[in-house]
Chains A and B, each alone.
Chain A
Amino acid sequence: MKTLWIYLVAVLVSAWILTPILYTAVASFADMLDYYEHLIPRKYTLKYYEEYWRLGVGDALLRSIQVGILTVALSFLLGIPAGYAIGRLRFRGRDVIRVTILFFRVLPIVVMAVPLAVLFLRIGMYDTLIGITLAHTAIELPFVVLITSSIFISIPRELEEAGTVFGLSMIQVFARITLPLAAPGLAAAGMFAFLMSWNEVVASTILSYLNRTLPATVLTPYVMGTGGELPDPYRFAAATIMIAPALAFMAYTRKYLTAMWGAAGVR
């Protein structure tokens, strides 16, 4: 009886979250007239997707993936050493730096993006992959630094000290002990950072015009539609284009994460 209730609640909660997503996906294939007549459409079409494809959604998807990977790479390259230093080392001004990092997250992205767009226009980086990547890196760096520092703090110090005593240099300790132990956490952080870049729309829209990332590309039709009100199925198709790759990516990385050290895991 008790398990029945648990199942019931689980089903309700899942339904609450999934129904809009599912309905969005279904309705994005609905024939226009049919959609307005029936709640659950009966005739289906790929028309909206074809039109988006013509608008360059394929290129935008590719660009989004490139920007995402580059952003993760760059923000990790800069963020991991900083996170390690803040998490592990004792040095003057550490707390000030920690607070300052948080402070940058307080600024609205729009405030950052507009002057950046002007600057990028002047130095020829407007509407480029690098430009958007740099902006995303700037947005994500505080997050990466703080998350990685807490990952490093969670690794027992004695594991590193054992490395030092047994002859490993600081770099060897990091590469052979700290990094492998941090890997599951870092992978999760990387996944999250990728999704943040994937979903980032404000800076991407402001900093590009023709070479847009996926959300920036579909944002315009999704929110306002060009030249007047856009019918719902077009919007639903735009939403589905946004969600589907993210869900696929999550499903894939989740499997990878749990398989990493097996159930034994890091203590």
Chain B
Amino acid sequence: MTVELEKVTKQYGSVVAVDNVSFRVNRGELFVLLGPSGCGKTTTLRIVAGLETPDLGRVLFDGKDVTSVPARKRNVAMVFQSYAVWPHMKVYDNIALPLQIKKLPREEIDRRVKSAAEMLNIAHLLDRYPAQLSGGERQRVAVARALAFEPGVLLMDEPLSNLDALLRVQARAELVKLQRELKITTIYVTHDQTEAMVLADRVAVMNKGRVMQIGTPDEIYNRPTNRFVAHFIGTPPINFFAGTVEEGSINAGFLVIPFKNIPPGLVGKRVTIGIRPNDISTSPIEQGIPVKGNLVVAENLGSEFILHIDVGGFVLRALSKNKPAEEEVTLYVDKTKLHIFSEEEARINILPA
């Protein structure tokens, strides 16, 4: 099934939770809504589910307007952040109840419950009550319930956020595998960019109720269309510094970068320049512009270091395999990996000379 949101707006009092949001989720796609808490991603998901009604705009399933169709008739399944596994029913009944409501034949229900339980390795837990399960097991029950339902769209609201770090990585890998196998159209809400990068076919990055950018993980990482996305995606976070556009170059004080095809209207404007820490090298690279600086701190991540380097009143973060021996360091800024943003925080597409 395809899902489309058309200019959807939802307001609570004076707070605009969802602001003119539009996107289209293709059949079989895993679409991630990513953003900081309070950005409206969960409300957007609940609007798709039918748990909230938008004030403006339309929701379309397979091109049909379902905006006024109640949740229970939308044929969607949802995995809640708290899992919402019913505590008074055994695992089997938790998975079976939605199918009983669908009035499926008994054998079909039994088959679906068992195959979903197989898929999620909880077949041995079908006879237990949720209170007797661990958090990870309960999460699996919630996913099994959703899969057995065989929904048109699968909605997931931060399904991994209540698991501990190790389990989260494992569950994430299993979710990707399942989704790719089953090819269920899925909308997945998270605030965790790694999760989004690993899982998503496409990502919609949201902030303050608005969609900031929609694209593949690759696109939002390498070509963020605005400053917010550039800042929100990537760890350690991108370096931003101010610069002024001149004829044929951008001057950032400690660094002057030559650019071709600068539109004449841009000359004299203030811009923000962004460069990711892993696009700065401590050894010479082909497209690198050398910058001299002093090492302030080196944070040890185990496999690599985050170097904080003072380049004349401004501290750049760079990723490096080794900790430099001397305090004085020459950095090489990869000029093909620079992101230039206007004062309105939109991306400016110009190429380095």
A169 to B98: give the CA distance in the assembly, Å.
11
Choice from A167, A261, A265 contacting B101 with Cβ under 8 Å: A167
Interface size class of B (residues with CB under 8 A): 20 to 34
The interface bits of chain B over 128-153 (1 if a CB of A lies within 8 angstroms of the residue's CB, else 0) are 01111000000000000100010000
In this complex, the member of B87, B88, B129 whose beta carbon has the largest number of chain A beta carbons within 10 angstroms is B88
Contact across chains for A158 and B97 when beta carbons are under 8 A apart: no
Choice from A167, A176, A181, A264 contacting B102 with Cβ under 8 Å: A167
Give the distance to chain A from B293, nearest Cβ to Cβ, in Å: 51
- Interface pick from B78-86, B161-169, B344-352: B78-86
Contact across chains for B131 and A164 when beta carbons are under 8 A apart: no
A177 interface contact, C-beta 8 A: yes
A166 interface contact, C-beta 8 A: yes
State whether A166 and B132 are in contact (beta carbons under 8 Å apart), knowing that A156-B82, A158-B84, A181-B88 are contacts in the complex.
Answer: no
Choice from A164, A177, A181, A267 contacting B72 with Cβ under 8 Å: A164
Give the distance to chain B from A185, nearest Cβ to Cβ, in Å: 13
Choice from B50, B70, B80, B102 contacting A162 with Cβ under 8 Å: B80
Give the distance to chain B from A75, nearest Cβ to Cβ, in Å: 24
Residues from chain B with Cβ under 8 Å of A156 in the complex: 82, 84
A19 to B287: give the CA distance in the assembly, Å.
94
The interface bits of chain B over 271-308 (1 if a CB of A lies within 8 angstroms of the residue's CB, else 0) are 00000000000000000000000000000000000000
Give the distance to chain B from A183, nearest Cβ to Cβ, in Å: 8
Give the distance to chain B from A18, nearest Cβ to Cβ, in Å: 36
- The tally of CB-CB contacts under 8 A between chains A and B is 68
State whether A158 and B72 are in contact (beta carbons under 8 Å apart), knowing that A166-B77, A167-B102 are contacts in the complex.
Answer: no
State whether A266 and B77 are in contact (beta carbons under 8 Å apart), knowing that A165-B71, A166-B101, A168-B72 are contacts in the complex.
Answer: no
B51 interface contact, C-beta 8 A: yes
State whether A161 and B84 are in contact (beta carbons under 8 Å apart), knowing that A166-B145, A168-B101 are contacts in the complex.
Answer: yes
The interface bits of chain B over 60-97 (1 if a CB of A lies within 8 angstroms of the residue's CB, else 0) are 00000000001111001110111010111000000001
A21 to B81: give the CA distance in the assembly, Å.
52
B333 interface contact, C-beta 8 A: no
The interface bits of chain A over 139-177 (1 if a CB of B lies within 8 angstroms of the residue's CB, else 0) are 000000000000000001011011111111100100011
Contact across chains for A162 and B71 when beta carbons are under 8 A apart: no
Contact across chains for B87 and A267 when beta carbons are under 8 A apart: yes
Task: Identify the closest chain B residue to A263 (Cβ).
Answer: B131
B220 interface contact, C-beta 8 A: no
Contact across chains for A264 and B71 when beta carbons are under 8 A apart: no
* Interface SS of chain A: helix
Contact across chains for A264 and B82 when beta carbons are under 8 A apart: no
Interface size class of A (residues with CB under 8 A): 20 to 34
- Near B by CB (< 8 A), chain A positions 16-75 give none
State whether A166 and B98 are in contact (beta carbons under 8 Å apart), knowing that A261-B88, A264-B132, A267-B131 are contacts in the complex.
Answer: yes
Contact across chains for A266 and B88 when beta carbons are under 8 A apart: yes
A180 interface contact, C-beta 8 A: yes
A265 to B214: give the CA distance in the assembly, Å.
45
Give the distance to chain B from A228, nearest Cβ to Cβ, in Å: 59
Choice from B77, B81, B97, B131 contacting A264 with Cβ under 8 Å: B131
Residues from chain A with Cβ under 8 Å of B132 in the complex: 264
Give the distance to chain A from B96, nearest Cβ to Cβ, in Å: 11
Give the distance to chain B from A115, nearest Cβ to Cβ, in Å: 45
Task: Identify the closest chain A residue to B51 (Cβ).
Answer: A161
B49 interface contact, C-beta 8 A: yes
A265 to B130: give the CA distance in the assembly, Å.
10
In this complex, the member of B50, B131, B132 whose beta carbon has the largest number of chain A beta carbons within 10 angstroms is B131
Q: A161-B51, A165-B51 are in contact. List 16 more A-B contacts (CB 8 A).
A: A158-B84, A164-B51, A164-B71, A165-B50, A167-B101, A168-B72, A168-B98, A177-B86, A177-B88, A180-B88, A181-B86, A181-B87, A261-B88, A265-B131, A266-B87, A267-B131
12 contacts between A and B (CB under 8 A): A162-B78, A162-B84, A164-B72, A165-B50, A165-B72, A165-B76, A167-B98, A177-B88, A181-B86, A181-B87, A261-B88, A266-B87
Q: A residues within 8 Å of B by Cβ?
A: 156, 158-159, 161-169, 172, 176-177, 180-181, 261, 264-267
